[in-house]
Structure 1
Amino acid sequence: MRAIHLLITLFVFLASGGQAQAAQWPIAELAKLVDPSGEETIESISRPERAAEFIAAPRGLSAGYTRDVHWLRLRLDAPETGLLLLEIQPPYLDDVQLYLPDGSGGFHRRQTGDRYLFGTRDIPTRGFVFRVAFPSPAAQTLYLRVETTSTSLVLPRVFLPAEYAATQTTEYLLLGLFYGLMLAMLLFNLWHGYWRHDPEHRAFLIYISIVLAFMFAINGFLAQYLFPDAPEIAHHGLSLLVILSLGAAAHFHRLILAINRETPFLNAYFLGMIGLSTLSLPALWAGYFTEAAHLLTLAALLIPILGLLRTASLWRQGRTGSSFIALGYALSLISYLVNVLSIQGVLPGGHWQLYSFQGGALLALISFNYALYMRLRDIHKQRDAALEEVRQTRIAHQAEKLSRERQGALLAMLTHELKTPLAVIRLALDRLTGDSGVRHHAARAISDINSVIDRCRYADRLDQGEIHGERQPCQLSEILDECLMQSHQAARFRCQFQAGIPPLISDSALLRTICSNLMDNALKYSAARSLIEISLQTQPHPNGSPGLALAIANAPGQAGAPDPARVFQRYHREPAAYAQTGSGLGLYLVRELALQLGGEIAYHPPQADGPIRFILWLPLESR
């Protein structure tokens, strides 16, 4: 709460012109005269007949960017102490000449400005302060000649010496607080480090750095503290910062408003502002800063207006921090609009103008910074959520890995413990005499159980990543012949192989597993004693890759046709298929091994009274 009160106090101070409680000495008369040619002299403009040409300007001069010379006439009543201090703001005026009556009808000239050494000023302070002595109680009429390439804004204030000292103490204190807040924002954005990889934060960091330097220069501290003996550096430095601040502003606002090619008008405007700022740099050194700055400040008026309109769209899209971005643009629009219109001479100037712009800019930057902070907070939340998701995934993966290891160990144990007694039973069957049909069925049952165990173990090894193909030339037709020779029902197969089948670059062991599973599946689930057709031919893939197509077709048996959506699923068996011994792993292994070899397996359901067909496609070369 104290911080909010402090910010409010600072803004009220800046908006009110930074004036302390000490009262100013009243200026009895303040009038202005325009000198377009710059050829007027103190003798010509102080003649009595020229007095009517001066126009009353009780709030000072605000003529905008112009090369015209301006004269101001001030009439001051004499104080009892006989000494007043005349302060001329802002501190960036090029040439300021004060003409004081010499008591004999002439004038003494005192000259200063931001193009003169800081040490030549009457009082070493950020503004231009002249001592005005009153040898008698009579009022004095003073003349002020101002010529500048910056905005022609002249704001005189008059103080008694003691009151001026109190005013300066307060102003420097609050300006120090102002710069402290700006510097704190700068350091905060440097500290969190997101500018390294986030373009918005990087642009904001550049923008606030330039604005901080610009505010430091515009208040006269560049000449007072950094370049007291190099006035040209301070003078051109401020002009350069004006251009850079507008270019940096356009770049930052383009990013924070998410402007890109999808918003062509806004994109063209902001890129144009960046380009115009860049083109204004040569104009600075060529002596055309006045014209360039006039154009830039007018063009920059659209930034807060377009920003408000664009923010409304982002708010509807639910973009984080949109409300604070809108607040920043509203503050910018108010302070900037009033300031620019005053700079351009549309509105009357005043000391409030010097500081209201800075106060509005500070609050706008705080709003933008908080919007970025909200976005930063969301990034942190998303990062934490992602890290937690990764952690949970690792835990689940470790648990799954442990479960698979246990499952593998159990399966290995069962395989060993089951195969050993099965081998003993088979050996005993071979020694028995009697009904050969009974022995045949018993042997077949033992073979089926062995097959189920082998497939379960094979599927587990495949899941564990233990199955790796070794690619080498092999003939698929020869592998099919080997599988036929090992089949107990080889007579049921009818083979048709295309002549001159080229060799595959593949793994013969995996191909043998694929073929034996496809043939075993056809034998189990085809109609009893029906023929099974096997064809092998060259066939390119739809993408043009050369390959071989192996088709196995059989008439549907009692189990019927499998479900196309689940035929290759692990452990899936049709309800009517349970009459046969099986594991539901055969076709699953076919698909997984085919994919591992770069091939594909497709199931074609029977049409009308047609057969069930499985087609395996394999590439001729490994891929």
Structure 2
Amino acid sequence: MARLPRLLVVLLLALGAGTACTPPLQADDLVTEKAFFEDTAGRLSFEEARQQAYQPYSAFLNAGYGSSVFWIRLTVRAVPAAVDQPDRPGAGWAVIRMRPVYVDHIELFDPADTSGRPRATGDRTDWLDAEHRSLTHTFTIPIGPVPRQVWLRMQTTSSRQLHVQVLPWREATNADREDELTSALLVMLLVALALVGLVAAVATSTTTDYAFAAMQAANLPYALYVLGYARPLLAPYVPPVLMDQGFNVAVFIAVHLACWFYYFFVKEHRPSRLGAWLVTVPLFILPTLLLVTLAGRLDIALKLNAYTILVLPCTTLAAALTCRAWDRDSRVRPSVPRGLYVGAAFVGAAGSTLWFLTQYGWIKSTYFMLYGMIWFTALIGVVMLTVLLVRTRRVSRMRAEAMLRAQIAESQALQAQQQQEEHSQLLSMLTHEVKTGLSVIRMVLGAPGASPELRQLADQSIDSIGRVLDRCGDVQRTDSPESLPVARQALRPLLESVRTDGLAPGRVVVSVEDDLETLETDAVTLRRLLSLLVENALMHGAQDAPVDLSAAVDRRQSDGLLIWTSNLPGVAGWPDPGQVFQKYYRSPGARRLTGSGLGLHLASTLAAQLGGHLRYAPTPTHIRFVLWLPR
């Protein structure tokens, strides 16, 4: 998609170069002189007109808009009989080829024609009645060894431009084929622009892209008519006058859709109040053109439409220069670079100005400029498509960045919410445990002559409060881990120290395989981890039942070892396997006992810091937690 504008530009330039390089007076053109006379009143007969003084011109007649009639005298050179051999089709005949096709009415006056029948062509005559069917207007005349003259009478409400050629019949047929090929390629380019614009609009779902696609689609009927395809395609079904009126309305609609495209194109880049006004006013031109046309003044409507085509890109350029999307203090990032944006508007203004000056006859027309509006439309389409594709790429990038920022913000909000919930759970747990311990202490202090058993209960409550606070500190430290000092450690002495430092050393049974003597780890962290597991087993297991603290080589992974605690379930019951390592989790039965709900979560975190993992692996009769560590 990114290379598409370049390909379209190459195609456009190739077509333009091929057309521009076509000489206005080809080597086989039989016309030796062209001259015109302007009949301002439009009332002269042929005999009166042929007596007038004619002004010679070369290549193109280009007189702009007006109501006067133009008489054109063509001097056709002599053609030796060898040029058109009698056995060839069309021998002895030539074809007068005239363009553009939107000229309303052209009559031929040939002194050699003694039939007396009127001979006329134009976009208000039936294409099926053409003397030589082509994409251009045509007449056929006989040619011979003697030079001769023929006259054309032209009258039109559109711009009074006319390019005339007189070609031998065979050469005219070849020229028709060349025109059909070039015109077909140009139509294909316009169709490609419309389709790509539609695809881009569907992909982005923006009003500007839809307006561009509509503008390009509306240009197709105009191009088909001006290039000569509409008359052959519609002649069997649509009367010529209705086709001509439909063409004028189609042109007005195409210009109106262009007004809407330029309006959205400018508005999305925050123009000034003056700039917004400049692109808003042209939106009201279509009703004016239709009303003037219905009033019977098509000539005035066509002039107004030409002025609109001139003014619209110029006002767009002026409005683009006032846009504030590129200001440093702008809160909206521009979707295209300013240079590309203004450059596209400048190309539109330059092209429309050149076309307008040609239409009004203020500069000399060329064969290329004869279809200037189509070339201008194609060029603007390619330029604007480039702008829109760059804009689409930037908008997609900006949307991706916005989505990323939204995801980051959502993640941060979720993290903050989780932290708030954890803080709430922590405060709830601390409040409960501290109040419980304090109530026991208060009861002991309030009892007269407290017995040794009550004093021991108070000491246990104080110890419980201390353990809860220690667990909170341990969790805070493990959330910000530091590198651990690893060294070779003797395993059995380490396990024995965990047993002797526990709450009930007599209930803990240590067991180590004979061939397992040492491991490489951080002794302090491992001791903290195992103490948490033993403490959990002593507090939540069956009262007075033994707790196994065992170690063995992992038979499935020879580079690892297993250390586990095992105990019978007590009043706390069996933990939930899915929540056992979650922070603040306590089984329903464990809530009657003193605890923080942090021990197993902390043990799992410490296991990960040691390069191992902790899992809950109960047997049918025992609660068991298994720690795997690398040796």
Determine if the TM-score, normalized by the shorter chain, exceeds 0.5: yes
Query: Which residue identity lines up with residue 107 of structure 2 in the other structure?
Result: Q
The one-character-per-residue Cα deviations of 1:104-153 (angstroms, maximum 9, x if unpaired) are 7x97642111111110011222211222212x311110100111122211
Contact 2:266 2:279 in 1 (8 A): no
User: Which of 338, 360, 363 is the equivalent residue of 1:322?
Assistant: 338
Query: Which residue identity lines up with residue 357 of structure 1 in the other structure?
Result: M
Partner of 2:267: 258
Instruction: Give me the whole-angstrom Cα distance separating, in 2, the residues matched to 1:383 and 1:262.
Output: 23
> CA distance change for structure 1 residues 391 and 269 in 2, over 3 Å: closer, same or farther?
closer
Instruction: Give me the whole-angstrom Cα distance separating, in 1, the residues matched to 2:242 and 2:182.
Output: 26
Q: How does 1:233-244 map to 2 (within 5 A)?
A: 233-244=242-253
**Structure 1 residue 118 corresponds to structure 2 residue 124:** no
**Structure 1 residue 150 corresponds to structure 2 residue 158:** yes
Partner of 1:99: 109
**Structure 1 residue 31 corresponds to structure 2 residue 40:** no
Instruction: Give me the whole-angstrom Cα distance separating, in 2, the residues matched to 1:383 and 1:73.
Output: 65
User: Which of 224, 235, 260 is the equivalent residue of 2:232?
Assistant: 224
Contact 1:22 1:163 in 2 (8 A): no
Instruction: Give me the whole-angstrom Cα distance separating, in 2, the residues matched to 1:7 and 1:197.
Output: 28
Instruction: Give me the whole-angstrom Cα distance separating, in 2, the residues matched to 1:208 and 1:2.
Output: 17
Q: How does 1:430-509 map to 2 (within 5 A)?
A: 430-432=446-448
> CA distance change for structure 1 residues 21 and 73 in 2, over 3 Å: closer, same or farther?
closer
> CA distance change for structure 1 residues 64 and 15 in 2, over 3 Å: closer, same or farther?
same
> CA distance change for structure 1 residues 13 and 331 in 2, over 3 Å: closer, same or farther?
farther
Q: State which drifts further: 333-342 or 410-419.
A: 410-419
Q: Give the drift of 1:234.
A: 1.8
Partner of 2:173: 165
> CA distance change for structure 1 residues 171 and 96 in 2, over 3 Å: closer, same or farther?
same
**Percent identical residues:** 22
Partner of 1:340: 356
Partner of 1:515: none
> CA distance change for structure 1 residues 103 and 164 in 2, over 3 Å: closer, same or farther?
closer
User: Which of 3, 7, 10 is the equivalent residue of 2:12?
Assistant: 7
> CA distance change for structure 1 residues 92 and 133 in 2, over 3 Å: closer, same or farther?
same
Partner of 1:620: none
Instruction: Give me the whole-angstrom Cα distance separating, in 1, the residues matched to 2:24 and 2:163.
Output: 16
**Structure 1 residue 369 corresponds to structure 2 residue 385:** yes
User: Which of 213, 217, 240 is the equivalent residue of 2:221?
Assistant: 213
Contact 1:308 1:329 in 2 (8 A): yes
The one-character-per-residue Cα deviations of 1:356-405 (angstroms, maximum 9, x if unpaired) are 43223312221112112222112111211122223333444444444455
> CA distance change for structure 1 residues 381 and 295 in 2, over 3 Å: closer, same or farther?
same
Partner of 2:58: 58
RMSD, aligned CA:
3.5
- Secondary structure of residue in 2 paired with 1:39: coil
> CA distance change for structure 1 residues 359 and 174 in 2, over 3 Å: closer, same or farther?
same
Q: Give the drift of 1:26.
A: 4.2
Contact 1:259 1:267 in 2 (8 A): no
Q: Give the drift of 1:283.
A: 1.7
> CA distance change for structure 1 residues 170 and 325 in 2, over 3 Å: closer, same or farther?
farther
Runs of 5+ in structure 2 lacking a partner? 1-5, 85-91, 328-332, 451-457, 473-631
Partner of 2:375: 359
The one-character-per-residue Cα deviations of 1:178-211 (angstroms, maximum 9, x if unpaired) are 2222212211222234588523223222222222
Q: Give the drift of 1:247.
A: 2.4
Instruction: Give me the whole-angstrom Cα distance separating, in 2, the residues matched to 1:40 and 1:392.
Output: 83
Q: Give the drift of 1:227.
A: 4.2
TM-score normalised by L of structure 1: 0.63
> CA distance change for structure 1 residues 260 and 377 in 2, over 3 Å: closer, same or farther?
closer
Contact 1:29 1:74 in 2 (8 A): yes
Instruction: Give me the whole-angstrom Cα distance separating, in 2, the residues matched to 1:25 and 1:251.
Output: 44
Instruction: Give me the whole-angstrom Cα distance separating, in 1, the residues matched to 2:95 and 2:407.
Output: 71
Contact 2:135 2:180 in 1 (8 A): no
Partner of 2:146: 138
- Secondary structure of residue in 1 paired with 2:63: strand
Instruction: Give me the whole-angstrom Cα distance separating, in 2, the residues matched to 1:35 and 1:177.
Output: 39
The one-character-per-residue Cα deviations of 1:299-347 (angstroms, maximum 9, x if unpaired) are 5423333333443444964841433343333333333223222221222
Partner of 2:47: 43
> CA distance change for structure 1 residues 185 and 299 in 2, over 3 Å: closer, same or farther?
closer
Instruction: Give me the whole-angstrom Cα distance separating, in 1, the residues matched to 2:20 and 2:350.
Output: 12
Instruction: Give me the whole-angstrom Cα distance separating, in 2, the residues matched to 1:195 and 1:206.
Output: 15
**Structure 1 residue 305 corresponds to structure 2 residue 314:** yes
Query: Which residue identity lines up with residue 86 of structure 1 in the other structure?
Result: I
Query: Which residue identity lines up with residue 332 of structure 1 in the other structure?
Result: G
Instruction: Give me the whole-angstrom Cα distance separating, in 2, the residues matched to 1:108 and 1:138.
Output: 24
Contact 1:34 1:69 in 2 (8 A): yes
Q: Give the drift of 1:25.
A: 0.9
Contact 1:93 1:147 in 2 (8 A): yes
Instruction: Give me the whole-angstrom Cα distance separating, in 2, the residues matched to 1:222 and 1:352.
Output: 20
The one-character-per-residue Cα deviations of 1:2-52 (angstroms, maximum 9, x if unpaired) are 665433212223445x669974414211111112222111122124xx2x2
Contact 2:276 2:319 in 1 (8 A): no
Q: State which drifts further: 363-372 or 171-180.
A: 171-180
Instruction: Give me the whole-angstrom Cα distance separating, in 1, the residues matched to 2:200 and 2:277.
Output: 32
Query: Which residue identity lines up with residue 263 of structure 2 in the other structure?
Result: R
How many residue pairs were aligned?
A: 436
